[in-house]
Amino acid sequence: MHDIRFIRDNPDAFDRALKRRGLAGEAQRLIALDEKRREKILALETAQARRNAASKEIGEAKKTKDEARAAALLTEVAALKETIPALEAEERAASGELNAALAEIPNLPLDDVPDGKDAADNVEHHRFGARRDYAFAPKQHFDLGETLGQMDFETAAKLSGARFVVLKKGLARLERALGQFMLDVHTAEHGYTEVAPPLLVRDDVMFGTAQLPKFAEDQFWAIKGELLVEANEQTVAEADRVEAQAAYLGYRSRLRSERLGLIPTAEVPLTNLVREAIIDEAQLPLRMTACTPCFRAEAGAAGKDTRGMIRQHQFTKVELVSVTTPEQSRDEHERMLSCAEEILRRLGLHYRVMTLCTGDMGFASQKTYDIEVWLPGQGAYREISSCSVCGEFQARRMNARYRAKEGRQVRHVHTLNGSGVAVGRALIAVMETYQQEDGSIAVPDALAPYMGGIKTIQKS
């Protein structure tokens, strides 16, 4: 969420930053909405002040036995009491209109973010390791998993539909081992606090991290049974009647207020742990991590990655979240990237780091690094982690602040998030990188303590 005061003071700079994202200028429209809001606030405050002053004048008039003046003032106060609720409603409507407009505008890129339209304009930052040579043609993960009899997409489709998978035996244990390994490294060595957050969250929590309102259709929603019963009682024919239409709109409003969203990433609950709070600066930076299932209704471009585990509606990910001061956030971004990289280095996986261009960054990001791991079977780099600094963009939506040591000033925190890393994609990378000619998978040394003595995953 943007600060309207910044936009009023820096309209040209705001529009230039939006242009770098490929968007039209919004400053004048937003300033006009703010002027309207300020007019409503002034009218309301003027009416309230006059009501208060007139109320005092009534007492003075009665003291001097000026009954005519007292009666006139009583009439004026009564009229103001009737007017003020309407003025309050107008102020709320004007503020809501401005806030709704601000909520739809993405974060502004930092100066050092490369300009560009899409992924083709991303800039390589650095690489680690080298591609392995194989004496055979490496296979893709789904061919390996299905041949092993431990990766079952057909049964998953019977249970849940497309873009789900059932993992079994060694591969199921390998996925669990990866998550445990990542958590152990991040908590014991990188200073992150492990958190087990809720997987279902309210709308305002989704709004805080900017999943809402823009990406509502990308989320899965959980709805209480009683609400579903109400929905079944509404018919299309009934909705044509005015009374039924009003009842249906009431149902829709209740549905939105009582539904819960399945988290698309643990970034959502972890970042919101500081919502509506004022933290002492001495507590910062806060660093949190969680390994959770994640759920995304949008699974990528239509027709892309339809086979395998690359794009799933349900997947496991280890998330990293930091809450910092503005002065710390840029260094914390580099630190978070190195923490995610360390996981891949210990797994012996070849990867590259890309700085995303302005046209490819996420909605809430000021700057993003993507880590792309090399998949030998696919013969391509694929994203396995995305580390972003968001500045105060999310903090404003959550009302998350801190009290500075010097001067005790209250300011918005800065938030950061990153995958540390995506467990499902790490499983894919390990399978394809450590595959052997007979189709078995060698277990990386870093995972040996988690595999109960299993050194090779092979067909039973």
Active site residue 252: no
DSSP 8-state class, residue 239: G
> Rounded CA gap, 132 and 434, in Å?
9
> Rounded CA gap, 399 and 456, in Å?
50
> Rounded CA gap, 270 and 287, in Å?
10
Active site residue 131: no
Active site residue 386: yes
Q: Which of 296, 334, 349, 359 is nearest to 418 (CA)?
A: 334
Catalytic one of 322, 329, 365, 386:
386
CB 380 within 8 A of CB 386: no
Catalytic one of 76, 90, 146, 383:
383
DSSP 8-state class, residue 45: H
Active site residue 296: yes
Catalytic one of 20, 21, 37, 311:
311
CB 125 within 8 A of CB 385: no
Active site residue 425: yes
DSSP 8-state class, residue 390: -
DSSP 8-state class, residue 313: S
> Rounded CA gap, 188 and 148, in Å?
34
- By CB atoms closer than 10 A (0-12, 13-18, 19+), residue 101 is middle
Catalytic one of 20, 37, 163, 425:
425
CB 337 within 8 A of CB 369: yes
Give the pairing of strands 314-324 and 286-295. Answer: antiparallel
Catalytic one of 296, 335, 397, 401:
296
Asked, as a colleague might, if the bond just before 213 is cis with ω within 30 of 0, I would say yes
| Active site residue ranges | 296, 311, 383, 386, 425
